[in-house]
Amino acid sequence: MLCLRARRQLRRARALYAAGIALVFAAGCTHKEIAPPAAARVQPAACPATAPVLAYHRVSPKITNQMTVTPALFREHMRYLARHGFSTISIDQWCNAVERGAPLPARPVIITFDDGWKDQIVYAAPILREFGFLATFYIYPTVIGSPLQLSWDDVRALAAQGHAIGSHSLSHTERLNRPYAFEDQARYERRLMREVYDSKREIEANISRPVVHFCYPYGYYNTAVMESLERAGYRTAVTVNPQVNSSATPLMTLGRRIVGPAMRDAELAEYLERLPLPVATAVPGDGMICTDRAGRVRVSLSPQGAHLVDARLKLSFRWVDSTWDPRGRTISYALPQPLEPGAYTAELHAWDARSNHYVYAWLFQQDAAARGASVAASSSRRPQ
Ligand SMILES: [Zn+2]
């Protein structure tokens, strides 16, 4: 089923993009793919709730990386949620609330698992059952049945327990949103179609249920990917942008907080208590690929909203020396040097007088071609 709200968002995004392109170029950032400006996020509020989304990977007694939690810590998190009145909801429930005003429990939270690790059914699923919680498991078919990974029987068992199964692409590609160097555009688009369509079809064939929720590998996305997902019949997609979601958050870029082995109750609470921060425009925009030097990051907040006393910007998890203009409700940061090629998570944190914490997070990428352009530019300024 096509998501009408997402279609409206994309149509609006294209119109706003056309209007805002001059602003983007003025900021020194060009791009080769259409991306939705943050203004596209502003939608009529259909439901007043917010939905934090927790992103777990491995749940194992042996900590193997920064995305593994022990079963004891996972139980501690579930206990915290239960004691503080949270109820797990499915992503379908969130869609129904946003699109049709369907009722939600008082404190909804969405629990997700990525990458189809075997330990998710061994350790996490029994703990979820203890607390009466349900989750969404994002899997990618090329590893199903491999050592340490879920089998198709495991995936069917999770579905039978009431959990949702989503697609995490076919192969967990790090280039879902752009071609490899050896690919032309046509070849890239064929690969994109396989990742989006074939993963959906293969999972559906194995669990005999529709698959309508997607998880971007590495959190990389753009408008072209979102449109492909929509055409394939996906209803939502989740990112790793660490914000909570409101009814203004596009269903194709739902925020999540990755959970790591050191996340104790205080850090969990800090994320759960965050509030959404509506923005009017962000440059570089959400999902944009910059092919020129990005000179400045700049966000204009919606004129309506909380009275904020401070706002600060984080770029790739580090605070930067940004400038907050409370009158104009803008925050900006002049990059001291061209960004290295890669993906950048940008986070705008703001606080009101009561210390309520608001967050808007988005993703843009600096293309490898930009470094070449920057080097060429600096070379041309050398004394002759
Ligand atoms: Zn993954």
Q: 310: which strand partners?
A: 351
Domain with CATH 2.60.40.1220 in the chain: 28-41+278-374
Instruction: Give distance in angstroms: CA of 59 to centre of ligand 1.
Output: 14
> Is the Cβ–Cβ distance between 303 and 342 less than 8 Å?
no
Residue 137 CA to ligand 1 center (angstroms) comes to 11
pLDDT tens digit sequence for 249-302: 999 999 999 999 999 999 999 999 999 999 999 999 898 888 776 678 999 998
- Judge whether residue 376 has pLDDT over 80: no
Domain 53-274 has CATH 2.20.130.10: no
* Spacing, Cα 172 to ligand 1 middle (Å): 6
Reading the block at residue 290, the tokens are 């910059």
Sole residue written with tokens 């879902």:
176
Distance, in Å, from the CA atom of 169 to the CA atom of 152, rounded to the nearest integer, reads 16
In angstroms, the CA 363 to CA 365 distance is 7
Whether the per-residue pLDDT at 30 is higher than 80: the answer is: no
Rounded Cα–Cα distance for residues 196 and 168 (Å): 9
Residues around the ion ligand 1 (C-beta < 5 A) = 114-115
219 alpha carbon to ligand 1 midpoint, in Å?
8
Report residue 18 as tokens.
């056309």
CA 116 to centroid of ligand 1, rounded, Å: 9
How far apart (Å, rounded) are the C-alpha atoms in residues 306 and 275? 10
Q: Mean pLDDT in the chain?
A: 85
CA of 216 to the centre of ligand 1 (A): 8
User: Do 55 and 316 meet the contact criterion of CB atoms below 8 Å apart?
Assistant: no
Task: Tell me how far the alpha carbon of residue 55 is from its chain's centroid.
Answer: 10
CA 302/CA 131 separation, integer angstroms: 39
Q: How far apart are CA 90 and CA 98, in angstroms?
A: 13
Q: Where in the chain is the domain with CATH 3.20.20.370?
A: 53-274
Range with lowest mean pLDDT among 25-39, 92-106, 195-209, 217-231: 25-39
Question: Which distant-in-sequence residues (6+ apart) come within 8 Å of 81 by Cβ?
Answer: 88, 109, 131, 133
Amino acid identity of residue 314, one-letter, is: K
Closest CA to 234 of 55, 91, 85, 45: 91
* 194-217 mean pLDDT: 97
H or E stretch including 110? strand 107-114
Distance 193 CA to ligand 1 centre (A): 18
Q: How far is the CA of 22 from the centre of ligand 1 (A)?
A: 35
- Domain 28-41+278-374: which CATH number of 3.40.190.10, 2.60.40.1220, 3.40.718.10, 2.60.40.10: 2.60.40.1220
